[in-house]
Amino acid sequence: MLEQLLHLLFPNVCVLCRQLLLPSEKGCCSSCMTDFDPFNNSLEAEQVLRHVITSNFGETFRFERGWCRYQFHKKSPLQHAIHAMKYEGLFTLGTMFGRQLGEWMLSCGDIGDIECIVPVPLHHLKKIERSYNQSEKIAEGIGKTLQKPVMPELLVRKRYTVSQTGLSAAERKKNPEGAFYVAKSVTVRHVLLVDDIVTTGSTLAAAASALLQTGVEKVSFAALALAVKE
């Protein structure tokens, strides 16, 4: 509560170092962001993401492309920034991170025939609690950069799932199974599915499965960060 009040009273300071932001900065200053741990290139990030997915779901689970900007470490500056984005009301951080991720995707080469962007949804009760979905904010930033429509209404989380934080790998894999359904008729062939952090890939896999079962031909993944084993 105190953190939220401080951000309301002093919205133009960095969430990490509390220094004044430049007009071009949103939520987190450029200096603090140098302490994040980015992937060297998109190929490295995609290879690590594919390894995570196939390790947990086997070689038969396929996705088209994958982009992750940062490697996630516990107790890191990035974790503090993501916590502020998710729980302290700083949804503008999500849009900023999304724009950065979209710019990085474009700088790494062709993004293929992606037609729309779908954020991993929150259960409606959890969205009421937070007032927004951080993955939707990231998706909006990506959409503005890639000039692709964002369709949050396409996918719905039908079951309230506990937070993945603190769960074992097996529990993380099982937790979101069957939690999603497609809410409307699908007319797009290639969807970019967006989440904030990938750990085991179980949430993305469950959401992608729901899309693929109802007419979507290809699903690609984009996430702000990918958790690394330490």
157-203: pLDDT as tens digits: 886 655 545 544 555 555 556 679 898 888 899 999 999 999 999 89
Residue 10 has pLDDT above 70, yes or no: no
Residue 6 has pLDDT above 80, yes or no: no
What's the rounded mean pLDDT across residues 10-29? 85
The most confident of 58-62, 146-150, 209-213, by mean pLDDT: 146-150
Q: Decide: helix, strand or coil at residue 30.
A: helix
How far apart (Å, rounded) are the C-alpha atoms in residues 140 and 214? 24
Query: With b meaning 16 or more CB within 10 Å and e meaning fewer, what string describes 76-114?
Result: bbbbebbebbbebbbbbbbbbbbbbbbebbeeeeebeeb
What is the reported pLDDT for 144?
97
Per-residue CA distances from 91 to 12, 86, 131, 211, 225 (Å): 14, 7, 10, 26, 16
Of the candidate ranges 4-13, 107-116, 200-209, the one whose mean pLDDT is the lowest: 4-13
Spell out the domains of the chain, with CATH numbers in brackets: 2-227 (3.40.50.2020)
pTM: 0.86
What's the rounded mean pLDDT across residues 33-55? 93
Q: Decide: helix, strand or coil at residue 192.
A: strand
Side chain identity, residue 52: V
Nearest to 222 by CA among 143, 123, 122: 143
